[in-house]
Chain A
């Protein structure tokens, strides 16, 4: 079992719809969780971080964390073609600043 798992996609949604990206992790004592967006040929850029159970909203983005189910998700409301990218889920273990990354989910927003 991979430490951080994501559906590779592609996930296709129409413009204006809600895109839902999911991530599960295996290490129960993981502390904090990050979503990065990576455009083709570019470096990852941070979208959201979350470390408490529940929802965290930032503009069109909402991160959801359920530590009991070891599950973290990213919702993108009013999806735009510019949101088309690979979304990487990253998990920080209990100690240290090392992150473990999932392989990423490709999102395609069709206009």
Chain B
């Protein structure tokens, strides 16, 4: 049971570089999410998707882009990395439907911008 898989697990970027954080899930979930978590803080929603081809902004979308071409994959793109984007990034997915459907999280990507 792979669940939600994120790659890479760790990455160091220089200011101004770009990269894509990969996320894939094998649970056939419609809903997928990207969060960032700064030290001692809760999770902040960056972007989310309710299905292939449909994405929407969350609480902190600036500096990020997403796409959802398939049900399984939901990559997060950083175009011009800034030190403020140093964080741990979590991808999650959930089933559409009943109000108590939980979100299932990947192991996270720890990103440092230097």
A43-B42 CB under 8 A given contacts A49-B102, A51-B100: no
Task: Assess the B103–A99 pair: CB atoms within 8 A.
Answer: yes
Task: Assess the A101–B43 pair: CB atoms within 8 A.
Answer: yes
A103 to B41, CA, bound (A): 5
* Residue A31 interfacial (CB < 8 Å): yes
* Residue B31 interfacial (CB < 8 Å): yes
* Residue A55 interfacial (CB < 8 Å): no
Q: Give the contacts of A1-51 with B (CB-CB under 8 A).
A: 4, 8, 31-32, 34, 42-46, 49-51
Contact-size category for A: 20 to 34
Number of interface residues of B (CB under 8 A): 25
| Nearest CB in chain A: distance from B91 CB, A | 9
Task: Assess the B102–A46 pair: CB atoms within 8 A.
Answer: yes
* Residue B96 interfacial (CB < 8 Å): yes
Task: Assess the B101–A97 pair: CB atoms within 8 A.
Answer: yes
Q: Which residues of B contact A34 (CB under 8 A)?
A: 102-103
Task: Assess the B31–A97 pair: CB atoms within 8 A.
Answer: yes
A96 to B57, CA, bound (A): 13
Per-residue CB contact flags for chain B residues 24-66 toward chain A (1 = under 8 Å, else 0) read 0000000101010000111111001010000000100000000
B103 closest partner in A (C-beta) = A99
| Nearest CB in chain A: distance from B93 CB, A | 10
Q: Which residues of B contact A31 (CB under 8 A)?
A: 99
Which of A4, A99, A104 has the most B CB atoms < 10 Å from its CB? A99
* Residue A92 interfacial (CB < 8 Å): yes
A8-B94 CB under 8 A given contacts A45-B105, A46-B102: no
Interface pairs (8), CB distance under 8 Å: A32-B100, A42-B107, A44-B90, A49-B102, A96-B50, A97-B103, A99-B45, A101-B43
